[in-house]
Structure 1
């Protein structure tokens, strides 16, 4: 016991079970743990091994092969109802990962469901969820989080997260996909340093990124065609098909559509789903009110089409099938 440490806040003097994870001891309540976890319930339903467990102060010591950090987060979630609540309560990636890993391993389904719900606030399966994610997200926006989440989605069989996560990865520098992404967080799977994807996911992300860029460039071309040409402000042109028939400044509005095409075509990363919302300060003042609304409608329809096509661009099942799988998780 001299080389072991009692877990701060998870050592109850009246507890009747001690779990050891690495060099940390957690003295808790066997009955409560068994009531939450079918795996622990089944484990303690059998007689102890012939050689018996190590004992301390009348409590058996059961050694686990989990990290002390994961075990601490998991047991706090089990014992303290306020520690890991469902959205909209906030959490962190290390807490989420620890709870997800051990709730899956020890079959604590309500905690696994909570962890998956937190991930969905940032990596949703609907376009409406995507548009609302900045306000709805319950995981802090830490640089390169999508790379960590993609590995979690693979480790814990959550394919419905992959399209939106892979889209986020496609909005990053491609070198992060190929060589690894810096990660300042402290998670059990990745540690500190660099998050690396598996080879299959690297190929998926590279191919999907290319498909997204092809679609974005096609949209840019449609913007440019809609404006007919990059008009000279001194020259009058007929209203482009994408402008409103009552446009008071057809030349200016056509010019702005051409500028939008230029902006979009210069990107080497994914970004069209948020193009109108994130770029409108740059172009909105140049549109008349009617043409701005028309352009908004064009972008919304194109975003809906891209979202529906997103799983296929990464070689995945359609959204309907992914949602069906999620329903059985």
Structure 2
């Protein structure tokens, strides 16, 4: 059995074994971080007391996790520099591992810290959204879209739905054809796929208006069915979906008016167009932001914040 180079504390009173690696840590600190281990400490029969279950007189607990997972979980608890709160840099791989393991062992402070990392990129206020750093403090080797889809899976798995309004907005800024072609798409839970497709309904409406597609009304031909022809309605929907699938334009109303774009616009417009220009942009962006919760089934941002408090306050 190999001893961990990073976690073998001389004053440790508990040894955790996972696969071929042993970690010597402090039982009290582990119990304070994880209710699963706290419950385990309450019942001595869960901890080896006989000679075979001790190493150098220290009790042993065996985990069925991989040694890599055990190392991540324990280092996140005992190594202060390993998984710092945001905005300290981290990777999506480490973040999702911490989420999974802290959820498994009910390590509430650690779970909350991981969610705060995500909340820094998918905030609940427009001011915080505008202040998201570029590049973000969480890295992903396969780019932004793969990052968003990976987070969506985690949000669905751990019911952190208050992150969905900003998260689905970010996903909707990518062309649907790129989303459907992403390797992570097939791995998404069905509810997550439905949320993405629902969010893109706004793109359908934009394409309908821009491209002038209308449902065919056969009333002018003497048809008595005033509701319209099902066949032609079907054709119109197919045309819309086809256009959406080939649309390369990013639809990002909250980031469209960058300082550079604003200045370029001002130099090409007269006073009439520029009257209340900045105020109108601000009002439009607020309207977009206030509408985001409805795309994920919330009544408004107040309900989003209530859900957040219900999860984060418990885990505080």
Structure 1 Cα separation of the partners of residues 299 and 285 of structure 2: 19
Which of 56-65 and 133-142 deviates more? 133-142
Equivalent in the alignment of 1:201: 192
Equivalent in the alignment of 1:255: none
Equivalent in the alignment of 1:147: 149
Alpha-carbon distance change, 141 to 209 in structure 1, aligned in 2, over 3 angstroms = same
Unaligned runs of 5+ in 1: 183-193, 222-265
Equivalent in the alignment of 1:303: 285
Please give the residue correspondences for 1:179-198 in structure 2 after superposition, counting only pairs within 5 Å. 179-181=181-183, 196-198=187-189
Structure 2 Cα separation of the partners of residues 46 and 15 of structure 1: 19
Structure 1 Cα separation of the partners of residues 37 and 207 of structure 2: 51
Matched residue of 1:276: which SS? coil
CA shift for structure 1 position 137 = 4.5
Structure 2 Cα separation of the partners of residues 106 and 166 of structure 1: 29
Structure 2 Cα separation of the partners of residues 76 and 22 of structure 1: 17
Equivalent in the alignment of 2:173: 171
Unaligned runs of 5+ in 2: 212-246, 312-316
Q: Which string of whole-angstrom CA distances, capped at 9 and with x for unpartnered residues, describes residues 18-62 of structure 1? A: 223344332212122123222211111102259867333333332
Matched residue of 2:133: which SS? helix
Contact kept? 2:165, 2:292, Cα under 8 Å: yes
Alpha-carbon distance change, 304 to 22 in structure 1, aligned in 2, over 3 angstroms = farther
CA shift for structure 1 position 118 = 1.2
Equivalent in the alignment of 2:205: 214
Contact kept? 2:41, 2:47, Cα under 8 Å: no
CA shift for structure 1 position 117 = 1.3
Q: TM-score, normalised by structure 1?
A: 0.70
Which of 72-81 and 118-127 deviates more? 72-81
Equivalent in the alignment of 1:160: 162
Structure 1 Cα separation of the partners of residues 4 and 270 of structure 2: 64
Equivalent in the alignment of 1:186: none
Equivalent in the alignment of 2:254: 273
Q: Which string of whole-angstrom CA distances, capped at 9 and with x for unpartnered residues, describes residues 211-254 of structure 1? A: 25536987x89xxxxxxxxxxxxxxxxxxxxxxxxxxxxxxxxx
Please give the residue correspondences for 1:27-42 in structure 2 after superposition, counting only pairs within 5 Å. 27-42=24-39
Structure 2 Cα separation of the partners of residues 86 and 149 of structure 1: 17
Equivalent in the alignment of 1:126: 125
Equivalent in the alignment of 1:19: 16
Matched residue of 2:82: which SS? coil
Structure 1 Cα separation of the partners of residues 201 and 178 of structure 2: 15
Contact kept? 1:73, 1:99, Cα under 8 Å: yes
Contact kept? 1:121, 1:136, Cα under 8 Å: no
Q: TM-score, normalised by structure 2?
A: 0.73
- Residue 8 of structure 1, aligned match among 5, 10, 13: 5
Contact kept? 1:209, 1:270, Cα under 8 Å: no
Matched residue of 1:48: which SS? helix
Equivalent in the alignment of 1:229: none
Contact kept? 1:211, 1:313, Cα under 8 Å: no
Contact kept? 1:88, 1:136, Cα under 8 Å: no
Equivalent in the alignment of 2:217: none
CA shift for structure 1 position 292 = 4.7
Equivalent in the alignment of 1:327: 309
CA shift for structure 1 position 13 = 4.4
Which of 87-96 and 119-128 deviates more? 87-96
Matched residue of 1:82: which SS? coil
